[in-house]
Amino acid sequence: MRFRLRRRDGALRGLVRRPISERVTERPAQVAGVYLRGSLQLRHVDVGSCNGCEVEIASAFAPHYDAAQYGIRLVASPRHADGLLVTGVVTHNMEGPLRQTLAALAEPSVVVACGDCAVNGGIFSDAHAVVGTLSDYVTPDVTIVGCPPHPRDIVAALRSLGGR
Amino acid sequence: MTTTLWSWTTSLLQVVIVGVGSLILIGFMAKVKARAEGRVGSPVTQPLRDVRKLLRKERLHAHHSSLVLPFAPMIITATAVVAVWISPLVGTHPVMVSGADIFVIVYLLLTGSVAAALAGLDAATAFGGMGSSRAMTIGALAEPALLVGVIALAIQSGSSNLAVIVASTLHNSDHAFGPVHLFALGALVIVVIAETGRIPVDNPATHLELTMVHEAMILEYAGPELALVTLGEAMRLGLLFSLVANLFFPWGVATSSSAAALALGVAALVAKLLVLALVVALIEVRSAKLRLFRLPELLAGAFALSVLAIVMGLVTR
Amino acid sequence: MVWYLLALAFGAAAALAGVVLPRHGRVAVSMALGASSCALALVASVQELVCGVAWTVHVTQLLPFSGVTLSLDPLAALFVALTAMVGLAACVYFLGYAHGPTASRSGVSVFMLFVLALLVVPAAANVMGFLFAWELMALSSLVLILSEQATRPRARSAALWYAAMTQAGAVSIVLGLLLVASSAPGQDFAQLAAGAAHLSAAQRSLAFALTLVGFASKAGAVPLHVWLPKAHPEAPSPVSALMSSSMVTMGVYGILRVGEGLLHGGNLWWWVAVAALGVLSAVYGSLHATTARDFKRLLAYSTIDVMGLVLTGVGAAGVLYDTGQREDARLALMASLLLLVAHAAFKGSLFLVAGSVERATGTRNLDRLGGLVHTMPTTTCLVVIGAAAIMALPTLSGFSSEWLLLQGLLHGFADSSTPAVIVMLLGVVALALTGGLGAVAFVKVVGIGFLGQARSEGAATAVEVSRWMRLAAGLLAVPSVVLGLAPGLVVNTLSRAASAALGVGAASPVARGTGLLLSHLSGDIAPLELLVAVVAVLAALLGANRALVQRRARRVAAWGCGREEQTPRMQYTATSFAEPLQRVFSDVLRPQTDVEVTHAVESRYFQESVTYSQHIADVVEVRSYRPLISLVMRLGEGARRLHNGSIHRYLAFGFVALLVVVVVLS
């Protein structure tokens, strides 16, 4: 499906492929090398997405792409997790829960922004229930662009964190 | 090898094998499930990596929790370690085998369950309470089946000491394939699945809090405490599997104090654990988690099998 | 013997002090005398248990026409020791607890009379003395239940039920004992035992059945237990502790004394009946304990549960004795006696803790408690020890006694007759069922009552209670630990008591160091070594924790799945904790739920409020006793019509009665 995206900064994004893992800070390397070493557990938080990214994440953990073989797992509690996998633009109702979930993480932790909505607002950036993007609350350590991102991009980005 | 040296070697081997091996066993069961689903799945040593990583993270304690929260994982692990230490898993003469009564093992496991349930209630959250309530309910229904099943074995062997039961099954092959053992095996497999929280009783990999039982009790743990809980729960699983393997299929257990017998005992234990793990993993693949209020039927069935085991023992005496 | 009589003298002095002294020093002096009395009784009974030789003394002045014979043999000494232990703690507790009506003249003196009666009942060795002590025990506890009726609305109804059932039981015991005494030359129990040989088998069975009804009701056997969950919560806490720890054991003492001592074992089926009562009580009591919300009512049902296990053991011992397996019978009886002593210690401790909690927070409702681990840490430690003991966790007294009972039942399976095997099977099943259910009940008590966040104002503002109350509960926690770690120390005295009960000769020792080793039956436990192992592993883990983990733990808000506000109301309550089990066993428990909907005035489509209430009443009471009571009331109403005021009718009644008496007597 071909479509055009209109974003806040005016640039058009079509189907141009972007680099998949843009490391924003130095932390991921340190986290991956020292702490994670082949075991990455993430808590998925949907702060206001259309579920497209969720379907792709599900595919990333499903038999064909199988992120589990690299030691990556989705867990139920942010206390058990090494970080958050955030999808969607930050909506009014999910702002508080997002803060709570960020506060519940055990250090050291990472934040992964998955999908255009989490990175920069995507197609919902000026919708009425939206209060901001993930970057307004925490600087994500890894961003995965795409609307929705391809499962192999998701797996590659997470592998860059987990070190396997 | 002197008797004391043999006992200590046996016990140490058991703790090491069950301690490290049960984590690998869990990884193995996950691998089997993944392969059955058509995936490659996590490597078998993944749980070891998870535990290593968790040890480096920070500890978090909820505001209203007390000393129970940090102590419960230690109690779970300590009771599991002591139970492994005294059970005849590799050889029939570990340290303190004279105190290795099967009721001691069952109640040591109960101590661990109680500690986990109290930890769930200590965090003052709704999920912790829910996990504790469900776990204790399942325990209350599985405990009778477990006790009556092992009593059936004890009646048949004439003693409730584990080493005596294992030795008696080794020496009387008609016991090993008799109706008592068959019924007790059926009951104990169901109970082991219930106590270790596998499908169809509980899904260990669920994300949905309302479907959790054991996971909900440990929702508040982070870092090293979570690692200890994982290790403790894994050792309980390893212990239960090893007990089922050795009480019903004791061939290969070291009965003499020689290095060759010990090596054979280790190999036999590992092989039996892998086979049992394979069987349980395949049961998990083929079934779906039962809703909570269907579990009493399952556990009542296990209890009925246990009672039948005793009755068979009395009838065939 | 001297110690015991001295103890009774001190007890009487304590009661007198309670009446005579002014309020200022009443409680302190009376309790000091009472505690000394219990300590002396403890010394006397331990001396008797260790040396094993029974003594008898006859006191003619205490009662007219017959006097009182006091005799302590090892069995009676065990019960006296049990009572003295709990009595000592209760007296110490009273020092911190007494206030208002409990510290009045009647409150203090009747409390000491109750303790005195409990000390005398096991030692009374003639019919009149036994009945006198029994009635004194019942009446004094009745008065004590009513002592706090100003603050407890249900005390009167509880006292009425208690009075009715205790008196009915007493009548039954009197009839049974009189039947046994009818063929004996005198009143002393020794003479009764000798004369029982002249009774026919039917008379003996009738006597046993009559006394069983009375004693089983006192011991809280289902279906005669209905008074227990009503009376124990309403009494003041030291009284509840004594009632639950020693008064109910007098029922077991009576069964043993009459069944084995007087009637020499008798019929096999008596003991099958005792065991059946025990199994029923154990399962029923543990089910209701699991779903109870009131702390003390839960403990009362737990008492019914443990007494059921004890009765199962006693029944198994009787059956084994009658089928000729003397050694196994003694083992089963030893196990029951150990369970009795262990129960006295941990149940007494738990009741005293319940009293402390009620005093500190103002409520007994577990749904309204919580968070007490921060405000009452000592009390929480004590309740954890008591709960762990009652859940039969290893190295504590509950485990040692349940293990011994299991061994006794297991070895009764070997070459036994069919009734024995059925009793053993039922006993094993009861033990298994109550183990799991009891764990749920006490995890509920500790986890919901003490951990987490306070669920009400009272719990949030609780402060630790006075040191006497904590000391008393701690005194009773010590035997729970000691009996669990070193059961081998007491097992010889227990076997002497069991031998005295069964009339068997000296016992083969079953102790090995501090652990237990059953020599001719292979089974053993070593609790001290087990504890050492567990503590060693815990120490290793703590050390590893210190070494590996550098940072301290950080305090954060609990993870509530992203929910922004976490209130105490969001926690699980005792009702919700037990709800799955209640649903599973709803056919037995029969919970009654009421939903009341208040509609808005303006329109029936809008609801102003919805009230949901759920109540689990005692099924036996609702299905059996209440219909019986309404039947009796209807008969009474019918009888009123006979009183129509006509003198002619009354004269006719008198004439007919006289005729009947003359005809019967001639």
Cα-to-chain-centroid distance, residue A48:
13
| CA gap B212, B136 in Å, rounded | 13
> Which residues of A fall within a CB distance of 8 Å from C564?
96-97, 100
| Structure token digits, residue C367 | 């749904």
- Phi and psi (nearest 5°) for B160? -100, 10
Q: What is the mean pLDDT of residues C102-118?
A: 90
What pLDDT does residue C366 have? Answer: 94
ipTM: 0.94
Asked if B171 reaches chain C (Cβ–Cβ under 8 Å), the answer is: no
| CA gap C662, C657 in Å, rounded | 9
CA dist list (Å): C604 to C520, C607, C608, C609: 77, 7, 10, 12
Q: Report the candidate in B39, C553, B207, B25 with the shortest Cα–Cα distance to residue A42.
A: B207
What is the biggest distance separating any 2 CA atoms in chain C, rounded to whole angstroms? 99
What is the biggest distance separating any 2 CA atoms in chain A, rounded to whole angstroms? 42
Asked if B211 reaches chain C (Cβ–Cβ under 8 Å), the answer is: no
Say yes or no for a CB contact (<8 Å) between A79 and B222.
Answer: yes
What is the biggest distance separating any 2 CA atoms in chain B, rounded to whole angstroms? 59
Say yes or no for a CB contact (<8 Å) between B50 and A82.
Answer: no
> Which residues of A fall within a CB distance of 8 Å from C556?
103-104
CATH no. for A30-160: 3.40.50.12280
Instruction: With both helix axes pointing from N to C terminus, report the angle between C74-97 and C248-256 in degrees, rounded to the nearest 10.
Output: 170
What pLDDT does residue B5 have? Answer: 84
| CA gap C548, C542 in Å, rounded | 10
- If DSSP states are collapsed to H, E and C, what string results for C312-371? HHHHHHHHHHHCCCHHHHHHHHHHHHHHHHHHHHHHHHHHHHHHHHHHHHCCCEHHHCCC
| Structure token digits, residue A3 | 């479509």
| CA gap B153, A111 in Å, rounded | 54
SS3 of A39, please? coil
Residues 273-302 of chain C with CB under 8 A from chain B are 290
Touching subunits of C (3+ CB pairs, under 8 Å) are A, B
Cis preceding linkage at A148, omega within 30: yes
User: Is C587 inside a domain boundary?
Assistant: no
Touching subunits of B (3+ CB pairs, under 8 Å) are A, C
- Phi and psi (nearest 5°) for B208? -90, 115
What domain range is C363 assigned to?
A: 268-541
| CA dihedral for C431, C437, C441, C446, sign (positive or negative) | positive
What pLDDT does residue C522 have? Answer: 60
Q: Cite the DSSP H helix spans in C105-247.
A: 105-120, 127-145, 155-181, 189-195, 201-219, 228-234, 237-242
What pLDDT does residue A5 have? Answer: 37
The chain A residue lying nearest B37, using CA atoms, is: A63
- The rounded mean pLDDT for chain C is 89
Say yes or no for a CB contact (<8 Å) between B137 and C392.
Answer: no
What pLDDT does residue B7 have? Answer: 85
> Which residues of A fall within a CB distance of 8 Å from B221?
79-80
Residues 6+ apart with CB under 8 A from C328: C320, C408, C411, C412, C414
Q: Report the candidate in C550, C130, C92, C563 with the shortest Cα–Cα distance to residue C356.
A: C92
pLDDT at C105 over 80: yes
> Which residues of B fall within a CB distance of 8 Å from A39?
46, 49-50, 52-53
pLDDT digits (tens, 9 = 90+) for C433-481: 999 999 999 999 999 999 999 999 989 999 998 999 999 999 999 999 9
Out of C33-47, C166-180, C523-537, which region has the weakest mean confidence (pLDDT)? C523-537
Total domains present in chain B: 1
The chain C residue lying nearest A46, using CA atoms, is: C562
| Structure token digits, residue C195 | 């004369």
Q: Report the candidate in C266, C248, C258, C271 with the shortest Cα–Cα distance to residue C339.
A: C248
Say yes or no for a CB contact (<8 Å) between C541 and B118.
Answer: no
Say yes or no for a CB contact (<8 Å) between A103 and C563.
Answer: no
> Which residues of C fall within a CB distance of 8 Å from A91?
none
The residue extents of the domains of chain A are: 30-160
What pLDDT does residue C623 have? Answer: 86
- Residue-level pLDDT, tens digit, chain A, 164 residues: 333 333 333 333 332 333 333 433 344 555 555 667 788 999 999 999 999 999 999 999 999 999 999 999 999 999 999 889 999 999 999 998 998 898 888 878 889 999 999 988 888 888 888 998 998 888 888 889 998 999 999 999 998 887 67
Classify the phi-psi angles of A110: left when phi > 0, otherwise alpha if psi is within -120 to 50, otherwise beta. beta
Total domains present in chain C: 1
Residues 41-70 of chain B with CB under 8 A from chain C are 55, 58-68, 70
Preferred mutation among A40, A80, A105, A107 to probe B, highest tally of B CBs within 10 A: A80
Asked if C545 reaches chain B (Cβ–Cβ under 8 Å), the answer is: yes
Preferred mutation among A34, A94, A100 to probe C, highest tally of C CBs within 10 A: A100
| CA gap C588, C591 in Å, rounded | 9
Nearest to A76 among B34, B41, B215 (CB): B215
| Structure token digits, residue B208 | 């949905």
> Which residues of A fall within a CB distance of 8 Å from B50?
39, 41
Nearest to C549 among B74, B145, B224 (CB): B224
pLDDT > 70 fraction of chain B, expressed in percent and rounded: 99
Q: Half-sphere exposure of C237 toward its Cβ, with a 13 Å CA cutoff? A: 30
> Which residues of C fall within a CB distance of 8 Å from B160?
406-407, 410, 523
What pLDDT does residue A21 have? Answer: 39
What pLDDT does residue A33 have? Answer: 59
> Which residues of B fall within a CB distance of 8 Å from A79?
60, 219-222, 226
| Amino acid letter for position C479 | P
Say yes or no for a CB contact (<8 Å) between B159 and C521.
Answer: yes
What domain range is B260 assigned to?
A: 3-315
Asked if C1 reaches chain B (Cβ–Cβ under 8 Å), the answer is: no
pLDDT at B75 over 60: yes
| CA gap C252, C244 in Å, rounded | 13
Q: Cite the DSSP H helix spans in chain B.
A: 3-36, 46-55, 68-86, 102-122, 126-157, 162-171, 173-176, 179-196, 214-217, 223-248, 259-286, 295-315
Q: DSSP letter at C223? A: T
pLDDT > 90 fraction of chain B, expressed in percent and rounded: 63
> Which residues of B fall within a CB distance of 8 Å from A84?
none
